[in-house]
Amino acid sequence: MRSDVVVALLALFLFVQAQQDALKITATRNIDISSQIVKSTVELQIVNEGKSAVSSVLYSLSEAEASKASWIQANVEKRDGKKLKLQKTTVSGAPKDRVVYKIELASPLAAGQSVVVFVKAQITQALRPFPAKISQSENQFVVYTGDAQLGLPYVVDKETTTIKYGSGKLVEFSQVESSKQGSGSVTYGPYTKSPAYASKPITVHYENNSPFLVVKSLERWIEVSHWGNVAVEEHIVIEHRGAQLVGEFSRLDYQMDRRGARQPVVKSFKTHLPVSARDIYYRDQIGNISTSTVSRKANRVEVELKPRFPLFGGWKTDYVLGYNVPSMTFLYNKGNDYALKVPFVDHVYENVVIEKAEVKIVLPEAVANVKVVNPFDVKRKADEVHKTYLDTTGRTVIVLEKENLVDSHSQSVTVYYEFERFLLFREPLIAVVFFTVVFFTLIIFSWCNFSIKDKPEVHLKKE
């Protein structure tokens, strides 16, 4: 067994060495740190200068980035082009603080040919507020820690990294070789002939008043009815993870603050629901919250939610948001075969970070051959049973769970199942039979005389 592992690692090492000699790579990386999520887009221009075709290439992130990477995706030729298969792999000789990914090309890259590959990644909770505590009148400053170089497993012919920090004030940045400041950005490079896993650690300290709202927990309940409705309800706990507020909160100072949207505070946020959403409600433990606005757009329903109080750093709140949609929006069928295609999570707000989401999908009673297809890796827990009115055996509840989600996870999960259509009338028939039995029972009881006294006619005859 050990010999097989050694042989495999040796083969992979030789593969990487051969690729290093065969591939000419030019890399351009753009990192956006203007929100609470670190978003990077890397353009790799790859030329095969070897003698044989290449079917895959390697990519690398630091261990610190990989541990907080919520989303990483590779596309060919353009930013939103064909998605390529990307997965972690083990490479002999890679530093311990690097995580290597293998990207399968859409088609083998023949000798002398070139291809452009885009790699997009979103890193969450990587920005550190500094100072960690501020007063109500102060702005929020954060520190980004990263690397001026990509650190690919190859010799990179030429590479450039541009870090965009937005319109806030730049306090300081690491001034390593070939670094310069631009308008709202810092550029490192170009660097030529960078060795494999090259590294130049850097930090950027800058002003960032974006809302650092984090959903600590999201419990999503989706109940399917074949009578024309899908009910959705979410229990959400959110917290502002920015610089914590110190000192007393002044409502007067808050209302008179002229910074407007530049305040490091969350006054409201917009949630996107399906375009056919109706019967929308928004409440918390106290009751209904009337400070919400619903706007219908061409492709969505936009709900602006305003908490009962503004959220400063370190503050949190929780709420319930629910709505109904016609079943034809999410449910498809062919005979007795059904497919439910529903978003795993909705767009909670812009640049959302969800620490943990639990999605429960309640299917109709008596379904069979249930199959779940997820658009990304999801932990499926043991199915549960939910009983409600007129149920006999209970309804199947699919329980899905995932941690560290962003907007890119607002994709549809598909549930396939079989359901005999005649069973649709089982519960109405149960109700009809039940009430029929009750009515006939009452009629029979009304005809019966349960009195223990004799009838008057009998007494007259005896006299």
pLDDT digits (tens, 9 = 90+) for 210-231: 989 999 999 999 999 888 899 9
Q: Which of 33, 97, 31, 24 is nearest to 60 (CA)?
A: 97
Determine the pLDDT at residue 8. 47
**CATH top class, domain 213-423:** mainly beta
Q: How many CB atoms lie within 10 A of CB 102?
A: 17
Fold match, 2-207 / 213-423: yes
Phi, psi of 60 (to 5 degrees): -145, 145
Given a cut of 60, whether residue 19 has pLDDT beyond it is no
Determine the pLDDT at residue 442. 84
16-37 mean pLDDT: 83
Which pLDDT band, with edges at 50, 70 and 90, does 346 fall under?
Answer: very high
Which pLDDT band, with edges at 50, 70 and 90, does 141 fall under?
Answer: very high
Determine the pLDDT at residue 170. 95
Higher-confidence residue: 18 or 165? 165
Determine the pLDDT at residue 168. 87
Determine the pLDDT at residue 9. 46
Q: Domain ranges in the chain? A: 2-207, 213-423
How far apart, in whole angstroms, are the C-alpha atoms of residue 341 and residue 332?
8
Which pLDDT band, with edges at 50, 70 and 90, does 77 fall under?
Answer: confident
How far apart, in whole angstroms, are the C-alpha atoms of residue 140 and residue 144?
13
- Write down the mean pLDDT value for the chain: 88
Q: What is the CATH number of domain 2-207?
A: 2.60.40
Q: CB under 8 Å, gap of 24 or more: what pairs does 419-425 form?
A: 419/226, 419/336, 419/338, 419/364, 419/366, 419/367, 419/368, 420/336, 420/366, 421/336, 423/365, 423/366, 424/226, 424/227
